[in-house]
Amino acid sequence: MNKNMVRDLQSIAKNNVRRFITFRLLFNARFYYPVFAVIFLDFGMTLDQFAMLNAIWAATIILAEVPSGALSDLMGRKKLLILTSGLMVAEMAVWAFAPRGNPALLFWLLALNRVLSGLGEAAASGSDEALVYESLEDAGMQDQWSRVLESVTKWRSAAFMFAMIIGGLVYDPTLLSAWTGLEISKEFTVRLPLFLTFITSILCWINCLGFHESARPDKEEQLAVGDAFRQTVQAGRWIFQTPFALVVILAGAFLDSVIRMFITLNSEYYRLIHYPEFALGLIGAGMSLLNFVIAPLARKLVDHKTPGRVFVIALLLGIAGFTGASFFIPFLGVVFMILLSAAFSITAFAISFYLNRITTNSIRATVLSFKGMALNLGYGFIGIVYAQLLKFLENNRSIEAGSDEMFIAGAQYFPPYFLIGAVGVILVARLYCPEIHRFRVPEE
């Protein structure tokens, strides 16, 4: 390979890295996130309709996750990313311009929005990482992958913080009216976060057009109906025949699901440790900025520690976080949420790093989609367990449903559950994949 070709490949890799970071910023930092539940209710949905819409979204992701990864391996990463951003444009257009006068029509339009959103999430899973890693590999720069993950984690957190703050501010008609001197109605502000996200979705689509995909001489031009199914079976068989990959996915799914469940309840936790409502957005923004510290730490861990040690560190942070949080210490209890957020971020970083390093190009996106499906299934499972726990507490300990006492009682079960699960993960890893505790990463 001559010097000009090497420079060209390096230029392509750097372009893809920049666009990868931009894609993650625009796709994930959505201005309606700080008012996500409220905006559905203000549009006219009831709580049970909101729950049903979220169930539709989750089911769509689970059903489409692995097939989309197979299509990415067979058809190409760039095509799937363009499809992903196109679906984002479509989902935001449906929601932003949905009429509110007809409740029945509105529900079905929002259901369509949730399906499009779920398909977009599934199509994105794995394709972006696979495209960028392979272009780094072509340029002989794959050792930069951990730094790329560090950068995208940092900037995605900054963009998320920006979207959280702006989205919350523009939703308040009183505040906007005071700032602009105009009389701004709730009818307008209820759509403003959606309009802003619609604009970023168009920018995301334009950004994806500029990706450059590695040449794929083994990729078939014409796809048969069964190709995606065979690709899925091949990737699934590879995961079960590769102990390291299976243990990484299982360990990651356990850590991700339990910690994510508690993090989604963080606003209630903050309220019970005496933080006022106006501080919740600031705390969320601060947690996002923490990734500027956690991301470099995660990179150093995966670069210099064995995979076993990295996951043990995440497990210990989780145990400490859950144990401390269960005491609901006024104000200082936020420290334990920091520990849980650190464990969550390190886990996500490690899974992406290890799976991309050990997976071959031909099945990379499909394997990453299996990872995404495992995380979502794990989260769904712990959600069911938590719901059953709350029913048990209500029926057997006469605790009022939805009360502060119920939340506090339920939180006491997280430390022992996580500890038992952590011991199980360590035992499975030692028995099924001993090398996870000895090597930095298996040879590719």
- Per CATH, domain 1-223 is 3.40.50.620: no
Name the least confident of 108-112, 146-150, 198-202, 267-271. 267-271
Q: Is the pLDDT of residue 405 over 60?
A: yes
Predicted confidence band of residue 441 (pLDDT cuts 50, 70, 90): low
Predicted confidence band of residue 278 (pLDDT cuts 50, 70, 90): low
Q: Give the homologous superfamily in CATH for domain 227-444.
A: MFS general substrate transporter like domains (1.20.1250.20)
Closest by CA to 57, choosing from 114, 108, 106, is 114
- Can you tell me the distance from the alpha carbon of 218 to that of 214, in angstroms, rounded to the nearest whole number? 11
Give me the amino acid identity at 286.
G
Name the least confident of 96-100, 270-274, 278-282, 370-374. 278-282
| Each residue's pLDDT tens digit, 153-198 | 999 888 988 888 888 888 888 888 888 888 888 888 889 999 999 9
**In Å, what is the CA distance from 423 to each residue of 109, 281, 348, 419, 426?**
46, 35, 20, 6, 5
Q: Is the pLDDT of residue 216 over 90?
A: no
**In Å, what is the CA distance from 77 to each residue of 80, 201, 360?**
5, 19, 14
Mean pLDDT of the chain: 88
- Can you tell me the distance from the alpha carbon of 7 to that of 138, in angstroms, rounded to the nearest whole number? 11
Q: How many CB atoms lie within 10 A of CB 393?
A: 19
What's residue 21's pLDDT?
95
Q: Which tops the pLDDT comparison, 170 or 344?
A: 344
Mean pLDDT along residues 3-27:
92
What's residue 79's pLDDT?
92
| Each residue's pLDDT tens digit, 386-403 | 888 988 998 888 888 778
- Can you tell me the distance from the alpha carbon of 273 to that of 159, in angstroms, rounded to the nearest whole number? 27
**For residue 389, is it left (φ>0), alpha (ψ between -120 and 50) or beta?**
alpha
Give me the amino acid identity at 231.
Q
For the purposes of burial, counting CB atoms within 10 Å of the CB of 419, is it exposed (0-12), middle (13-18) or buried (19 or more)?
middle
Mean pLDDT along residues 341-354:
96
Q: Is the pLDDT of residue 41 over 90?
A: no
Closest by CA to 380, choosing from 243, 264, 237, is 264
Torsion of CA 231, 133, 200, 180, to 10 degrees: 150
Predicted confidence band of residue 444 (pLDDT cuts 50, 70, 90): very low
Q: Is the pLDDT of residue 77 over 50?
A: yes
Closest by CA to 269, choosing from 345, 361, 192, 340, is 340
Domain boundaries, the chain: 1-223, 227-444
